[in-house]
Amino acid sequence: MLSVHSCGCCRVFAARAIQFQTTPSLFFSTPNYKSRVGTARRVAASSGFAGDSGSDLRQETIADTRTNYAGVRLEETVDNGIRSGKLRLDSWISSRISGISRARVQSSIRAGLVQVNGRVVDKVSFNVKAGDEISCTISELQTLRAVPENIPLDIVYEDEHVLVINKPAHMVILYIYPSVVHPAPGNTSGTLVNGILHHCNLPNVEYSKEEALSNTEDSDDEFNSFYTNASSCEGLSSRPAVASIRPGIVHRLDKGTSGLLVVAKDEHSHMKLSEQFKLRTIKRVYVSLTAGLPTPVAGRVEVPVGRDPNNRLRMTAVAGPLNPRKSRHAASRYKVIEILARGGCALVEWKLETGRTHQIRAHAKYLGVPLLGDEVYGATRSMVLSLLRPRTPSGLHSKIVQMVSRIDRPCLHALTLGFKHPHTGQEVHFSCEPPADFDEILNQLRKISNEGAFFTKHSIS
């Protein structure tokens, strides 16, 4: 395995062979947890096409498949061996060009670049049958309206196919819905994508509404759209019913969430990583500080998550029959790592089985323990103080007030990330400690616990 650590300039890396530690809870048991670990290796890109050698695919387009796919042509007859039943045109073309997203194919169909038996077909759901002759040219991607900016990045790992970044809290990622809005100046600046574009080129990957929904990450994490003002990206704007342009971004983290994020540097890698998220094979571990102690201290929450009808800025977890129009299946496993402030708070580990918008935040609120700093989900300052004051001596109340007043984001951190490398097939794992603000709050809560125990002991004696 490789231990990869970014230096101060985030562009130079040192690597040495070590054994990866797979137990993130050990991360909190010692004061020295300043390490990042992972495994990966460089490989050459494949040709990018699936299918047998008899496919009439023009050879000069193969080189384009690593990054763009624009202009790739497919001329092929639907095989007689296809299964009986309906087979959509967009699905069939997607299966014949390896690595391309279905939304990219759909855009090509709608643009009139696909013919069936010599006739232009612009309906993506058109049913094809054995013997149909298909001719397709992949359309150009829409121009990305984001400019490179020299923003410091904490790069944990990089090769020619993927980039793993430790995202700081308060940094917006970036989503683009070019058919919906032309953003005002200033709304596209200072984002993670702006910084990545300064570091390297990113593929523009187009997603349909359906594909975007299937990939919803823990935004935790997903649909603060590009036209939402950066200062309010903690909220959730309405999802437009059009394709989105997502430059290299496979999943994302909320503006206030810190931690590990993987970025695809070519379209093939984007497709492979997105597929792993869809199949739920990505390994993700988060840690949080909660207002209150979960009961029981370990368990599994399987409660659908949907938009709160009374507050469009948040999601809600409501037990009961699943309504696919209003809520989606969501499951999280949690475990208390450490009880803090004599039960007033807790350090909690989360493992996601699904990745829904604000899943951890919604499930934490459902358990009655919203994340510290997450006022949108109920952890207001007054609520947190009402938990901590009765559990600590009056002499510590001023310290508690100062600590709570300094919390300016939900205390949630993406601690570990594991996935199958899109080109090598090798399992890779990365871990990154929480940032200074999270660590400072954790240490202060520990100190309150210790001092509270000291005051209690001496008051009894």
Per the structure block, which two tokens stand in for 77? 């007859």
Q: Which residues contact 257 (CB under 8 A, 6 or more apart)?
A: 167, 169, 218, 219, 220, 221, 409, 410, 412, 413, 414
Per the structure block, which two tokens stand in for 422? 């899109």
Q: Rounded to 5 degrees, what angle do the CA atoms 59, 204, 307 make?
A: 135
The separation between CA 144 and the C-alpha centre of its own chain, rounded to angstroms, equals 20
Closest C-alpha among 438, 404, 431, 417 to residue 258: 438
State yes or no: is 254 an active-site residue.
Answer: yes
Q: Which residues contact 321 (CB under 8 A, 6 or more apart)?
A: none
144 contacts 230 by C-beta, under 8 angstroms: no
**Partners of 333 in beta bridges:** 300, 351
Integer distance in angstroms from the first to the last C-alpha of the chain?
Answer: 54
Q: How far is CA 150 from CA 108, 154, 199, 203, 447, in A?
A: 34, 13, 8, 19, 39
Sheet holding 133-137, edge to edge: 56-57, 73-77, 133-137, 114-116, 119-120
Question: If you ran DSSP here, which 8-state letter would residue 176 be given?
Answer: B
Cis before 178? omega within 30: no
- Catalytic position from the list 90, 132, 254, 308: 254
Q: How far is CA 314 from CA 254, 263, 317, 425, in A?
A: 12, 26, 10, 37
Q: Which residues contact 359 (CB under 8 A, 6 or more apart)?
A: 218, 220, 305, 315, 330, 332, 352
Single-letter residue type at 318: V
Cis before 122? omega within 30: no
42 contacts 98 by C-beta, under 8 angstroms: no
DSSP 308-360: -TT-TT-EEE--SS--TTTEE--EEEEEEEEEEGGGTEEEEEEEESS--TTHH
Scored b (16 or more CB within 10 A) or e, 319-358 reads: eeeeeeeebbebbbbbebbbebbbebbbbbbbbbebbbbb
Catalytic positions are: 254
